[in-house]
Amino acid sequence: MANGTLVWRFPWAEIDPEVCDRAVKEALAAFPGTRLLKLGPPAPARARTYVVGFPLEMVTSSVEAFEDPPTPLDGKVYGRFVMVADAELGAGAVLEGKRNRGIFSLMRRLVDDAARRLGGSEARFAQPSTHVAGRTFGSFEDVLGHARAAWPLDGEDEDSFEIHLGDGDPEAAQVVEVVGFEAWSESWIVFWCTVCDADALTAQEAVEKNADLTFATLAKDGDVFRVCWSCPVSVLTPARFDELVLRIAEEADALRASDAR
pLDDT of amino acid 191: 94
Span 198-227, mean pLDDT?
Answer: 83
pLDDT tens digits for 27-54? 999 999 999 987 665 444 567 889 999 9
**Vertex 198: Cα angle to 195 and 201 (nearest 5):** 80
**Which residues are CB-neighbours of 78 under 8 A, at least 6 positions away?**
51, 52, 53, 54
Distance, CA of 227 to CA of 248 (rounded, Å):
7
Q: Quote the CA–CA distance of 261 and 253 in Å, as a whole number.
A: 15
From CA 68, how far away is CA 77, in angstroms rounded?
Answer: 13
Look at residue 83 and tell me whether its pLDDT is greater than 60: yes
Indicate the range of 201-205, 213-217, 234-238 predicted with least confidence: 213-217
Report the C-alpha gap between 133 and 104 in whole angstroms.
Answer: 26
For the chain, percent of residues with pLDDT exceeding 90: 24
CA nearest neighbour of 56 among 76, 32, 80: 76
| 221-250 mean pLDDT | 88
Residue pair 48/17 in contact by the 8 Å Cβ criterion = yes
Closest C-alpha among 5, 14, 61, 63 to residue 33: 61
| Average pLDDT of span 234-241 | 88
Single-letter amino acid, residue 51: V
Does the predicted model carry a pTM greater than 0.85?
Answer: no
pLDDT tens column, 111-167: 999 999 998 887 877 654 444 445 788 888 889 888 887 788 888 888 899 998 765
Helices (H), 41-189: 56-59, 63-67, 104-117, 140-150
